[in-house]
Chain A
Amino acid sequence: MAPLTHYLVLSSIMFAIGVWGVLRNRNALIIFMCIELMLNAANLSLMAFSSYLKDYTGQVLVFMVMAVAAAEVAVGLAIIISIFRHKESVNVDNVNVMKW
């Protein structure tokens, strides 16, 4: 395996890309995908630590994160579908009813 810092740096790069993507896009689905990207980056980080500290706790956490991510995707996509039904578009800029 590569040194720990390499994994961590990779993880940070992926995370930053995910952040950039969330802020940059207007398509709800692509935003969602970027969120998944961030989650994966976190998973990578967890796994790296777990390996280097020889502690299984990290892997268990990865497990949990994956489960949660799956659940989140399910519900989130359901929401997007509902919104799409009303608005015929997935442009997040159209969802602005909560203006002051």
Chain B
Amino acid sequence: MNIMISLIPLYPLLGFLIIFLTNKRLPKSIVGFLACGSVLLSFISAVFAFITLLSIPPESRVIGVKLFDWIISGSFSSSISFAFDPLSAVMVLVVSGVGFLIHVYSIGYMSHDGGYSRFFAYLNLFTFSMLVLVLADNVLLMFVGWEGVGLCSYLLIGFWFHKKSATDAGKKAFIVNRIGDFGFLLGTMLIFWTFGTLNFAEISQAATYLAHANTGIMTTIALLLFIGATGKSAQLPLYVWLPDAMEGPTPVSALIHAATMVTAGVYMVARLSALYVLAPAALLVVAIVGALTALYAASIGLVQNDIKRVLAYSTISQLGYMFLACGVAAFSSGIFHLMTHAFFKALLFLGAGSVIHALSGEQDMRRMGGLKNRLPHTYRVLLIGTLAIAGIPLLAGFFSKDEILYKAFSSPAGHPIFWLLGLLAAILTAFYMFRLLYLTFYGKSNIAHEVEHHLHESPKVMLVPLYVLAFLSIIGGYIGLPHALGGGAWFERFLEPSIAHIGHEGHSADVHQLSTEYLLMLSSIVAALIGIFFAHRFYIKDPAKPAAIATKLAGSYRLLLNKYYVDEIYDYLVVKPLYVLSLIFWKIFDIRIIDGSANGIARFFGNLSYKMRLAQSGIIRNYALYFALGVAVLFGYLILR
């Protein structure tokens, strides 16, 4: 079993190596088969490991595998070792399962692309890094995976490197991530300094002992690590790279920027829940950032016209929900939403990809419409995805989102304000998602004529993963069915060994709060319906209305359309000064001072030897003179000594 677990990340690594090293020499079918196969093997191994895990009693539910010692230096040591416990089990299954489906989808989507093998190589490398990230049993190894997924994100966003916008987006992603990583590294160092170890289990154990005297340190560590999370998981203020990241191929957006990489931040917070529960101030910050981001991103998504941009802002918003959950110490709810979100967001992105593929690359929703009958399969699965994300009951999104809202209201670390913000965001979410659906599939068609000729439904290799994801989007929520609705909250119970709880919380005495729970559930449903209602009004019943409102509230409309001008603000405040600074370093330091001194020294010696050369006059008697002079000096020295 240990070997099986250690192999989970290694299958995709092997896939990457083979595909990368034989670039373009293997036929496309083999490359696709190899790439998908490696991820499938990971998934199957994960399933086996999961089953094994279930046979272990809950208190000691962790399988540790040590591969080898990596760094041993004084009192610091770090090893390459994995820990398979309930939390990582969930993550591994999601990553490999959804990842596999996306790999299969990509065979169809990228079939005409020249960089086919390069794409799959990078996808496999990404899967490897992500698996290392979630399986790591210490912070350092997790950081290796963290950086690895960042690298692959850069490579894949800028996949079509001939396009400047793509390479710019890739750079932006990597650099913004880096800023977050700085916080992460500082947090890591502080952890080592405080705990003397980077091992998660040891940290969690030690945290309880150290908490009382050192809340300040705990809070600092938690906040620093959270900065890293805002970078990787696109929260305020470091979210700006995610919308630009849509330059990458749609499967990339689905895998990396919806289902897996961006969730790394949430995973990290959940993993270190022991620290966070001991730092209430940090938890508050996390909750505030999460709630605000959820609302903020949803507001921008209301007016975007690019189908992928809407989904990107939706992702940011949903991630906000996950962080909100963590911020109210409902870590398992956050992970639950992570899982369901992976399902329906991947579905939405891949479905959007199907639409784009059908429309020969068109991404602007204003040039779509009336596709309901022309792309029936795509329409069906996208409808399911939209219903799920809007929080309609019976689909997965409802259970997870509702649980977060409930916990936001009722948890000891929660507050009704958070609930309210979440609810507002839910209304907006339902609205813009249905707006997307209506603009794309309903109404009169605005499709350009040449595009219309090539309109075709996607091939089976793309549709099958879509249907699988749709299926998961429907049934995926039932694992977490709360007691209130007759379920056993199995998901939350499963994750319990991995996650810490807030001090005095008695396991939520649901009895007297049952009525609250029902009430809140009802309000979530109402919120979703409100959103759908307005979307229907604006885009089906009265298509001219949006334009009318846009002109009436022109200022706000422009503000939202331009994403609150945040990119421009950052450019002015951060990018331009840094650019000037680096220009100075280059032109002045590097060229004038460093090169100048290196060349200057060489020139100096050249001149010196030129002058000294003149002493070789060839006249013997001069030489004799120098001899004698030297002798005289030597005598003088000897005398004076």
Contacts and interface: CB of A to CB of B under 8 A. Distances in A.
Physical contact A–B (CB less than 8 Å): yes
Interface of A: 19, 22-23, 26, 92-93, 95-100
Nearest to B620: A92
Contact of B618 (A22, A23, A26, A99): A99
- Interface size class for chain B? 10 to 19
Nearest to B613: A100
Contacts of A22: 624, 628
A93 B621 contact: yes
A30 B611 CA distance: 33
A95 B628 CA distance: 20
B621 A23 contact: yes
Interface string B606-635: 000000011011111100110010010000
Contact of B628 (A19, A97, A98, A100): A19
A52 B68 CA distance: 83
Residues of B contacting A: mostly: helix
Contacts of B628: 19, 22-23
B624 A99 contact: no
A98 B616 contact: yes
Given A23-B628, A93-B621, A97-B618, 15 more contacts: A22-B628, A23-B625, A92-B620, A92-B621, A96-B617, A96-B619, A96-B620, A98-B616, A98-B618, A99-B616, A99-B618, A100-B613, A100-B614, A100-B617, A100-B618
Contacts of A26: 621
A62 to B, nearest CB: 22
A74 to B, nearest CB: 20
Interface of B: 613-614, 616-621, 624-625, 628, 631
16 contacts: A19-B628, A22-B624, A22-B628, A23-B621, A26-B621, A92-B620, A93-B621, A95-B620, A96-B617, A96-B619, A96-B620, A97-B618, A99-B617, A100-B613, A100-B616, A100-B617
Nearest to B625: A23
Contacts of A96: 617-620
Contact of A23 (B613, B617, B619, B624): B624
Given A100-B613, A100-B614, A93 B619 contact: yes
Contacts of A23: 621, 624-625, 628
B120 to A, nearest CB: 68
Contacts of B616: 98-100
Contacts of A95: 620
A22 B621 CA distance: 8
User: Max chain B CB contacts within 10 Å: which of A22, A92, A100?
Assistant: A100
Nearest to A15: B631
A95 B616 CA distance: 13
Nearest to B614: A100
Nearest to B615: A100
Nearest to A19: B628
A8 to B, nearest CB: 14
A95 B623 CA distance: 12
A26 B613 CA distance: 24
